[in-house]
Structure formats: structure tokens, C-alpha cells
Amino acid sequence: MANRIRTVLEMIKFEHSVFALPFALTGALLAARATTHGWPTLRQIAWILAAMVAARSAAMTMNRIADLRYDRENPRTQRRALVTGALSLPFAWSFTLIAAALFLIAAWQLNRLALELAPIALAILFLYSYTKRFTTWSHLVLGSCLGISPAAAWIAVTGSLDPRMLILCAAVTLWVSGFDVLYACQDVEFDRRAGLYSIPKRFGIARALWIARIMHVLVVALLTWLAASFALPWPAWAGVAAVGLLLGYEHSLVKSNDLSRLDAAFFTVNGYISLLFLLFWGAAVAVWRV
């Protein structure tokens, strides 16, 4: 059983939950401080964490199920658990359904609006697995899967939504979309053979890198707008600067003729970005005079 759990966690890249969780927690902190001048309760935080982990687990497993044919054909993905038989397809389906059910339970425990919107969120998460078959812009769909998390957390805490939170949603969407464009550069040749769509396939790697850079410049602009819209104190602005510097460093690691440092750019740097964002913005919220 322990080996199977480890295999499942590896299949869904559980450690990458760090990408979205800090932005969701930031949304929860902003929601509580802006509306009640207080903090989210431990119960709310616990169910938000449960919802985030469950939703991501369901979405990632669904992605592996949907892409099983391509994972078998792509040399980069031929060691994945469903391809090798380390996990069975019926098990993957069962895990997806259980994770989706846990997500709905978590939404139910938070508030009525969260529950009403939960099926829509699941639909968006599951849709992404098929977008690479028909649109170049699947990266934006993936980005929106994580991008909705700050709004979802605001709703979880307040039962409503402040339109300003959509700025953070847009920032996270473009952040994720940008680094997914970088990651897709390594699969250009396979995408051409398999008939899949991506920005690197359509525009070439060099232009795709520029598109990712533009997305990430917009991320910094949106975070600046968000900090100003809430009139947040200096730690938030320091956080925006830190994100901008790390995004610049991320792009310095990836060249059109050298993708050898792509894993460092994708996994390490983006993990630091999300965690530092939570640290700086959490500090800003703590000293914020609402």
C-alpha cells in the first residue's frame, strides 16, 4: 500500500501543489482582512487546503488518463505509472472519482456558493486534458485551472467575490501559462508527430519564449495593480519585486538553442516564486491597516 501511495503521489506530482496553494492562501488572507478585519479560521484554512489538494489530484490523474496514448508514444513520458503498469487504469479512474468527491465535500463544508460553483471548477479542470487536441492556447486553459484558486479561496472565506480578486486570478493564469509554454518547448517534435497543439509548435521555440516573457511581464503589472487596488503596505511591493526578479532569472535559464536547464526554471524557480509571494503578501496583510 505504501508503494502504491508513493506511485500515485509521483504520478500527480503532488509536490507541485506548492505552485497554486500559496496564491489560494493569499486570497483567503486578503478576504478575511478586507471584509472582517480578521483572519480565516483554522476550519476554513483546513477545508481550503483539502479542496485544493483534492481538485488538483483529480485533475492531474484525469490528465494522465486522457493522455495515456500520448504518454506511451512520447519518449519523455514512457516511464509514467499508467504507461508502465505500476498503476492500473481502473485504479486511476477510482482515484479521480474519490478525489473529485472529496473536493465537493470540502466545498460543501465551506459555504453554499462554493458548493454551487464546485462542479464548474471541476469541469474546467477536466477540460484542460483535451485542449491540446484542438487549440494552440491550451496553456491558457491550464493557467486558468490554477488561476481560479485565489477567487475560490475568497469565496470560501466570505461566500461572495470581490471583483479585485480577478486581477490576482489573471496574474496567476498568465504566470502558469507562461511557464507551461516554456515546458512545452521540449515536446515540439513530438507534438508535430502526434498532431497536438501548442504555442511552441505553432510559433517556434524562439517566438514561444518571447510570448512567455510577455505573459510574465504582464504578471508583474497585474500584481502591481492588485497591490495598489488594495492599498497594501510595503511588503506587498517587495513581493512584487521578488516575483519580477525571479521571473527574470527563470527566463535567463532557458534559451531557444539550449533547454538543458528547463527543469530548474520550471520546478525550482516557480516553487520559490509562489512561496515568496505568500511570505511577502502574508506579511503585508498582517501589517495592513484596513
The yes-or-no verdict on residue 44 having pLDDT over 90 is: yes
What is the average pLDDT value for the chain, to the nearest integer? 92
What are 112-117's contacts with CB under 8 Å, separation 24+?
112/159, 113/155, 113/159, 113/160, 114/51, 114/152, 114/155, 114/156, 114/159, 117/152, 117/155
More confident residue, 20 or 124: 124
pTM of the predicted protein model: 0.94
How far, in Å, CA of 101 to CA of 137, rounded? 29
Neighbours of 37 (CB within 10 A): 10
Burial class (CB in 10 A: 0-12, 13-18, 19+), 96: buried
- Kindly state the DSSP code that residue 134 receives in the 8-state scheme: T
* 196-207 residue pLDDT tens: 999 999 999 999
What residues are paired with 78 via a beta bridge? none
Q: Could you read off the pLDDT of 224-248 as tens digits, one per residue?
A: 999 999 999 999 999 999 999 999 9
36: DSSP letter: H
Q: What is the mean pLDDT of residues 134-161?
A: 96
Residue linked to cell 492556447: 137
User: What band does 54 get if pLDDT is binned at 50, 70 and 90?
Assistant: very high
What average pLDDT score do residues 249-265 get?
83
**Is 184 buried (19+), middle (13-18) or exposed (0-12) by CB count in 10 A?**
buried
Question: In this model, does residue 15 exceed pLDDT 90?
Answer: no
- Residue 224 is predicted with a pLDDT of 98
CATH code assigned at 68 = 1.10.357.140
Q: Could you tell me the residue range of the domain that residue 122 belongs to?
A: 2-287
Confidence of residue 210 (pLDDT cuts 50, 70, 90): very high
pLDDT tens by residue, 148-169: 999 999 999 999 999 999 999 9
Amino acid 2: pLDDT: 60
Q: Which residue bears the cell 476550519?
A: 43
The whole-angstrom separation of Cα 223 and Cα 259 is 28
Whether residue 16 is predicted with pLDDT greater than 70 in this model: the reply is no
Task: Report the 10 Å Cβ neighbour count for 269.
Answer: 18
Q: For residues 131 and 141, is the Cβ–Cβ distance under 8 A?
A: yes
**Per-residue pLDDT averaged across 282-287, rounded?**
96
Please report the pLDDT score of residue 9 as a whole number: 67
The total domain count for the chain is 1
pLDDT at 263: 75
Amino acid symbol at 67 = D
